[in-house]
Amino acid sequence: MQNDSTSPIEKKQNNNGGGVDLSKSVIAYMASLSTARGRNVQKQALDRMAEIISGGRVCDCFSFPWHLVRYEHTQAVRARLMELYKPATVNRFLCALRGVLRAAWRVGLMLADDYQRASDLKSVSGESLPAGRELGAGELVSIFAVCDRDKSVAGVRDAALIALMYGCGLRRAEIVSLNFLDYDREAGRLKIHGKRNKERYAYLPAGAVVALNRWVIARGDCDGALFLRIRKGGMICEILPMTGQAAYTILLRRAAAAGVSDVSPHDMRRTFVSNLLDNGQDIVTVSKMAGHANIQTTARYDRRPDEAKKRAALSLHVPIMGGV
């Protein structure tokens, strides 16, 4: 973006005089986000937009004068983002931009009129191909077989963890935030602490009950995180819960040992949604099971439409003679 006399950076130098705490707007916006991951993701978005608006002079959102951003700047950054990213990513960036401008107004750094004009940004329309994939039944069997062959306590724990990824469609952050007391063995259900502090119950399929009960026996019934770290030598560390990154790494390692590539915890969640829908469950129920705020989100996880299109295409006969 060109650097001109109206850029926020030059306005800061000429008008602000260094008397404003530039971090206030970002701190207030970050405080409104409910998860550490959400704060990290949106900070990266703000860093990138600060870089774009300033022409590369500022890359740290905490050092950028968001209260001096005006309508011409937000429209220009929107146009640039559309050149760089897919629609869904652009809209996430714009959400961060609106949020930090709203925070600048709320903390008294920005006039209401300036805020309303600058934040008057249309969302970007368009639809890209869905990310991720659905695992096949054979791939799931292979991953669980790898865990089963590992007779150590780590094999028991990893089988239970992956069973919840697929059998309950849990996000990895939801899995590692589970407490031992969240598991009701009699009812075969878990109390899930989801996004935006929303709680729900997840009922376990029979196989997941078996896997989780095996882990509970190995873990013991002490209070604390349901899934714990395991030290070298197979010792369970009762005071250290697992991290979301550790859950991701465990799935990758077990999948690689099973010969399954290109897989993520969210792919297990996508497979959970698709398989339930394929089994005839209604989308409203599946949406509630997945902890989605609306069924449109659930529909994006469904890979069945592509399978239907593939079957339809294969039913056509193109009369080409001979082979390649």
Provide the annotated active-site residues: 171, 195, 266, 269, 292, 301
CA angle 243, 249, 250 (to 5 degrees): 90
**The token pair that represents 6 in the structure block:** 């109206």
Cα(222)–Cα(225) distance, rounded to whole angstroms? Answer: 9
- Residues 102 and 120: beta-carbon distance below 8 Å: no
Could you tell me which of 274, 284, 289 has the C-alpha nearest to residue 164? Answer: 289
Q: State whether residue 121 is helix, strand or coil.
A: coil
Residue 235's Cβ-count burial label (10 Å; 0-12, 13-18, 19+) is: exposed
Which has the closest alpha carbon to 20: 67, 71, 53? 67
Which structure tokens are listed for 208? 């997941």
What single string gives the DSSP state of each residue in 66-82? GGG--HHHHHHHHHHHH
Residue (of 173, 254, 180, 169) closest to 204 by Cα position: 169
Contact 134, 185 (CB under 8 A): no
Query: How crowded is residue 290: how many other Cβ atoms within 10 Å of its Cβ?
Result: 23
Judged by DSSP in three states, 323 sits in coil
| Residue 191 phi, psi (nearest 5) | -95, 115
